Amino acid sequence: MNRYPGLMLLLLLVVAGCSRMPVPRLPHLGADDAPAAATPATTVDQTATPRDMLTAHLVNPRVDPATPNMTVGKLIEYADRYLACDCASTRFVRRWERTAHGYRLETNSGVVAPLEFVCRDTADDRECFLTEIDRGPQAATLEERFVPGSEFIRFLYDNGVRCPREEPCPE
């Protein structure tokens, strides 16, 4: 069965001898000595609605019972549809910014100041309240300048659900 008993013995001795060889120690590098890892530059699309805001429910009281409850993601969708119907060549969102109480949304609209969403997490989901919106000093009166978040939500729903425009946008 074993034709080369000497070879087997030699192999066994070599393997056993190698396991007893001292392994050289490498010098210890502290955290300060380690070279800095190159981190790739990541670009964040600030126009994209933050993931935790997409499904956040708006809890503003409804002005009109016909206006359904909606999420922040749906509100942004209606705003984009409204601008597209108005032949705007830009999206509604310029950028999102996290705040201490929720998010601030800067828009590409020259009519409204940044929108403020005050949010909190509940046991089931996330809910947000859209605060009063400042339409800026170009408004004729103070009553016209400040719009409750509920009315803004209704406006975007009413104008973003369907587009009355039948002719194509001019190029």
Dump pLDDT digits (tens) for 73-88: 999 999 999 888 888 8
**Rounded-to-integer distance, Cα 106 and Cα 116, Å:** 9
pLDDT in tens, 30-68: 555 555 555 554 455 688 899 999 999 999 999 888 888
Residues 6+ apart with CB under 8 A from 73: 49, 53, 54, 55, 56
- Tokens 């210890």, residue located: 28
What pLDDT does residue 46 have? 80
Helix (H) or strand (E) holding 74: helix 72-85
DSSP letter at 86 equals T
Question: What average pLDDT does the structure give for the chain?
Answer: 82
pLDDT in tens, 9-35: 656 565 555 555 565 665 665 555 555
What pLDDT does residue 74 have? 95
Residues 6+ apart with CB under 8 A from 141: none
Among 9-18, 98-107, 130-139, the minimum mean pLDDT is found in: 9-18
Strands (E), the chain: 57-58, 93-98, 102-107, 115-121, 126-130, 133-134, 146-147
